[in-house]
Chain A
Amino acid sequence: MYRMNFTIKKMKGSVFIFINQNNLSQIMKPMESPTLDENYDLYFGPTHPGSGNFGVKLRVDGEKIVSARADPGYLHRGFEKLMEYRTPIQNSVLSDRLCVLEPLNWNLLHAEAVEELMDIEVPERAKYMRVIMAELSRIQSHIIWYGVFSKAIGFDTGFKIAFGYRDYILDLFEMITGGRVYPTGYICPGGVRRDFTEGTERKIIDVLEDLEDMIRMEEVDYPTLLGRTKGIGVLSPKEAIRYGATGPVLRGSGIKKDVRKEEPYEVYDRLDFKIPTRKEGDARARYVIGIEEIRESRWIIKQALDDLSESDFINKDHQKPNVNKEMPKDEVYVRNEVSRGEGAMYMIGDGEKTPYRVKIRGPDFLHMIPLLEHMLEGVEIADVPAVYWSLNVCPADMDR
């Protein structure tokens, strides 16, 4: 670093450096600090605890983000290709993995696509059971959303409330499907894999009552939560449409659209529920919608439980072992409201037992790449997790 003559001597355990007197000022002069007016790159993820299996490359100027570039692919498993090699009953197990946080909704979507393609009738009871399971899955997913969102902005209490209550629903899943997180294709083409056991209805109602306490706690406007979320990551309705936002993100910007109402599937047209909407379009508006949707889903489940009739839980012609049937030469496009937004599946049959092509449309493909890149522009570094988690992200259904 310095060009000068010096001598080093060791005396009594210390090291002495002798230099010329003229060079002293050079050493004592403070070092120049590196210039901070230049932009630099900052990575958020993929190993950041608050990012999931996903990374964003941020171009930063001081504390402000100039531009962002999403770096997806850490969970790319190529499900669309894998499904071309498997029969529908195998694919229904695969469809769990489309989103770790809401596997039952994706189960349902896959089952509906196969049913429409192969013209399979679903018994009445199975339809109600599917709605109950899908809504439980939605509640559970929204609870995780609230939890990780709280954690991301440094509000640990919210995280603990959420994950504590989520376990009650996981207990229900274990009781009904056999798996706590992954139901291993519980909702399969033709109906559901097994019937509710004795006392399941009672237990579901008990869990829903417990959730009331959680919702009350989540609805409190904690100052930490408000300060970190109000006015952060504002998305206008026009931009929301332009970037292809759906689900809670779209409704958080004041556009009242929900596939369950627009294009009712299963028995949603017989059930009464509201679509929570907010005008603000900021991070707070979006997570408040999540909490309100938990309340609506509870109400949906209660109605479905009341209407649950006695009949088969699966179409007997399509129950195991009569499952490997040829798919007709046809194509379908099925849309569902998964908890993150619009999920869709495009399935083509070609007279074989496996689908010829499956295209999966995950809502987070648009939320996490173009929309996130756009919304991160101009925010502070500290607000990145707040914006990121307010979009209710799931890297699994983006990468597929």
Chain B
Amino acid sequence: MRSKEEHLLDRIREKFDIDGNIQRKRRIWIKIDKDELLELCGCLKKKGFIHLSAISVTDWPDDNVFEVTYHIWSYDDKILITLKAKLDRENPTIESVTNIWQENAQIHERELHELFGVEFENNTDLEPLFLEDWSGPPPFRKDFNWREYVQDEFYDKENERERVYFY
């Protein structure tokens, strides 16, 4: 007897060129090209994956890519699918999924734009969210050294009481 997860994965494979695996019960991980992502998201939404649990970005500076992950949950099938798409680190742009998961996706993308500097095309509101008057690089990138940044911005080496922060 084939499981629900296998059945679902096979049906996606029929239509899309993906690299997918089943991690355990209720968990499917799919790697997909960023150009096909929007179409697959639309299909999954129609299949009942109406709840976008989270969007996340992982920075891989050694491979020179950003990996955008979409964690989507189906209330009917009780399966969580994670879609992963790779972006070029020099030019991190990807199509927004706000047409599919509306405001839910919008706010996640706005956060990631601020923290990782990823551009989400067709997202109308990518204003700064958490950080106020931030002029430095996107702070959650791996190459951003926050210890150095804090030292330079907030501490004075000449000040006797703050000298301890320089080691």
Contacts and interface: CB of A to CB of B under 8 A. Distances in A.
B144 to A, nearest CB: 9
B53 interface: yes
B53 A335 contact: yes
Contacts of B73: 335
Contacts of A348: 58
Interface stretch (B7-15, B85-93, B98-106, B159-167): B98-106
A72 B56 contact: no
B107 A369 contact: yes
Interface residues of A, number: 33
A240 B54 CA distance: 16
A76 interface: yes
B72 to A, nearest CB: 11
Interface residues of B, number: 34
A356 B140 contact: no
Nearest to B25: A263
A383 interface: no
A73 B130 contact: yes
A262 B106 CA distance: 26
Nearest to B75: A257
B132 interface: yes
A342 B56 CA distance: 16
B107 A365 contact: yes
Interface string B52-85: 1110101100000000010101010010101000
Interface string A216-249: 0000000000000000000000000111101000
Given A73-B132, A257-B75, A361-B53, A81 B146 contact: yes
A241 B51 contact: yes
Contacts of B30: none
Nearest to A241: B50
A348 B56 CA distance: 12
Interface string A346-366: 101000000011010100011
B78 A366 contact: no
A59 interface: no
Interface of A: 72-73, 76, 78, 80-81, 241-244, 246, 257, 262-263, 331-333, 335, 342, 344, 346, 348, 356-357, 359, 361, 365-366, 369-371, 374, 399
9 contacts: A73-B132, A242-B102, A244-B51, A257-B75, A335-B80, A357-B56, A359-B56, A361-B53, A361-B71
Across the A-B interface, give the 6 residue pairs with the lowest CB-CB distance, nearest first.
A244-B104, A73-B130, A359-B56, A370-B103, A361-B54, A76-B130
